[in-house]
Amino acid sequence: MPDWVTHICFGYLIACLMNARVRPVILGSVLPDLSKLFMIFTHFLDHFKVLNFFLPFHTIFGSLLSGALISSFFKHWKETYLMIIIGLLSHFALDSLLYPFGNLNEFFYPLFTFETHGFIWSDSYLPAMVSIPIAGLVWLKRRFSSNTVF
């Protein structure tokens, strides 16, 4: 995964480009990384069981389900759900750019999986260095042209 700051900045930029509500897009852009909860439980339980149990959160179907659950707590749930889906797609788009040597892409599990070759390493700070200034500039522009914070 790229870091969450990059995911948030990317989601924010997409929301601004689409003139969408920013906050649900930001929430959606980190939602698939709920699967990273395995990092906590792997210290107590069998690694592969924990890894496979949390895997569905990092798939399109699993994240659509978790997005539906979260959006059900909001008033305009259809609109919120749509914004969360935009965030989810931005997350998967960024993640598919990772691992230049190849990696198993589980986004469409359980239908099919395939191997992808991206061009950014997961620990690279380049995406953050690019996305943070751009998102910061856009945020400043929006902040001073209107009264919205997010």
The binding site for other proteins (CB under 8 A) comprises 1-5, 7-8, 23-24, 26-27, 30, 33, 38-39, 42, 47-49, 51-56, 61-62, 65-66, 68-69, 72-77, 80, 99-104, 106, 109-110, 113, 121-125, 128, 149-150
What burial class does residue 126 get, using C-beta atoms within 10 Å of its C-beta: 0-12 exposed, 13-18 middle, 19+ buried? exposed
Q: Report the nearest approach of other proteins to the CB of residue 72 (Å).
A: 5
- In sequence order, the β-bridge partners of residue 115 are 104
Q: State the Cα–Cα distance between residues 96 and 1, nearest whole angstrom.
A: 9
Q: Report the nearest approach of other proteins to the CB of residue 106 (Å).
A: 6
Q: Report the nearest approach of other proteins to the CB of residue 140 (Å).
A: 16
Task: Report residue 41 as tokens.
Answer: 């439980």
